Amino acid sequence: MAENLLTIAQVCERVSMSASHVRKRIKLGKFPAATHRLSTRMVRWSESSINEWIEKTHE
């Protein structure tokens, strides 16, 4: 089964944060970095990494 890949917009919607807030948290090591780099300006997150982060932060 193929892994779903999420755009920054989809990630932001899932976690209710702005893109700039997500990027700041990534720099601080408090949010998972993108798992796939498709080009220099196009990155994607695996759906499972975002789901794991959501579960971990809502314990």
Say what the pLDDT of residue 56 is: 94
Q: Is residue 36 within 8 Å of 5, Cβ to Cβ?
A: yes
> For 10-51, what is each residue's pLDDT tens digit?
999 999 999 999 999 999 999 999 999 999 999 999 999 999
Report residue 1's pLDDT band, with 50, 70 and 90 as the boundaries.
low
pLDDT surpasses 70 at 58: yes
The H or E element containing residue 39 is: strand 36-39
**Nearest Cα to 22, choosing from 8, 35, 4, 10?**
8
